[in-house]
Amino acid sequence: MRAVSVAAPRRFDLSQLARTWELLLLLTVRDVKLRYEGTILGFLWTLAKPLLLALVFSFALSRVLRIDVGDAPYVLFLLSALFPWTWFQSSIQFSAGSFSNNAALLKKVYFPRFVLPFSAVTSQLIHFLLSIPILALLLLAAGYRPGPEWLLGVPVLMAIQLLMLAGAVLLVASFNVFLRDLEHLVEVLMLLWLYVTPILYPLSLVKERVGAIIYLNPMASLIQAWRDLFLYDQLPGVDIWPALVFAVIALVAGSIAFKTLEGQFEIVL
């Protein structure tokens, strides 16, 4: 008698898939518009924040602590990792409340709910993509020559980070419905995560001290790959495998969490 079978009509049919995609698109456009509408400085602020942050870190770490980052100017060294990191961090932060803050909507209308956290990831992706040309300009100004490797490297690394984020936001947003505190916890954890990831300092610096443990950080190999691509036009190689493994783990864990918890949303929301 425990058997539950819901004949979900046409779950995998094309129109349902198309509708999901359209919803994701509309929500993404809405988020981006919300960011930029009415303010000329809207987009500039998206850029200014990591840029200003870069200046602060640059002063603290390269002038005061004198971290050795090789021949690259510290600001460029930092930004080449900080831009992809910002995409990662703000996606997770903005999506954490995407179920719990949309209770009114989730209670009233049925639609594929995962589009809500995903739209946070995609709208942050747009901001990230817009920041790439700025980075390219800065590199050019410093005498670097961004090569054609970017055309292949950017989509590949983007795809890996997208998969990782898809899983992570499903996980965080689903659990946040039941424990709202997670939202605040995530904010602090992301700050910690920033410091343990080789963003402010080169990977080689920690690898010497802690060894391969650094690869237990899902973002370590990915951030390093972004930096190698942006600074040295190096395509991601085998070194990227930890990021791939973590992307798969995140995706599986996120899907399971979402599938099991979604049925209980109605009780809590």
Q: Residues 12, 37, 61, 231: which binds other proteins (CB under 8 A)?
A: 37
1 binds other proteins per the rule CB under 8 A: yes
263 binds other proteins per the rule CB under 8 A: yes
**Closest approach of Cβ 128 to other proteins, in Å?**
22
Look up residue 99 and give its amino acid.
F
27 binds other proteins per the rule CB under 8 A: yes
Q: What is the DSSP letter of 102?
A: G
Distance of CA 98 to the CA centre of its chain: 15
Q: Residues 47, 67, 185, 244: which binds other proteins (CB under 8 A)?
A: 185
Q: Residues 14, 40, 64, 109: which binds other proteins (CB under 8 A)?
A: 109
**Closest-CA residue to 114 (of 265, 243, 4):** 265
17 binds other proteins per the rule CB under 8 A: no
User: Per-residue contact track with other proteins, 111 to 150, x per CB under 8 A?
Assistant: x---------------------------------------
15 binds other proteins per the rule CB under 8 A: yes
Please choose, out of 152-160, 212-220, 224-232, 260-268, the segment that lies near other proteins by the rule CB under 8 A. 260-268
Q: Which is nearer to other proteins, 30 or 49 (CB)?
A: 30
Backbone φ and ψ for 97, nearest 5 degrees, come out as -95, 15
Check if the beta carbon of residue 195 is closer than 8 Å to that of residue 57: no
**Closest approach of Cβ 264 to other proteins, in Å?**
9
Considering only residues 68-97, where is the footprint of other proteins by CB under 8 A? none
**Closest approach of Cβ 107 to other proteins, in Å?**
7
Distance CA 84, CA 135 (A): 11
Sign of CA dihedral 210, 215, 220, 225: positive
Within 13 A of 44's CA, how many CA atoms are on the CB side?
Answer: 4
b/e map 189-216, b = 16+ CB within 10 Å? ebeebbeebbbbbbbeebbeeeeeebbe
Give the CA-trace dihedral at 154, 130, 46, 228, to 10 degrees: 30
Provide the binding-site residues for other proteins, judged by CB under 8 A: 1-7, 9, 15, 18-19, 22-23, 25-27, 30, 33-34, 37, 102, 104-105, 107-111, 178-182, 185, 263, 266-268
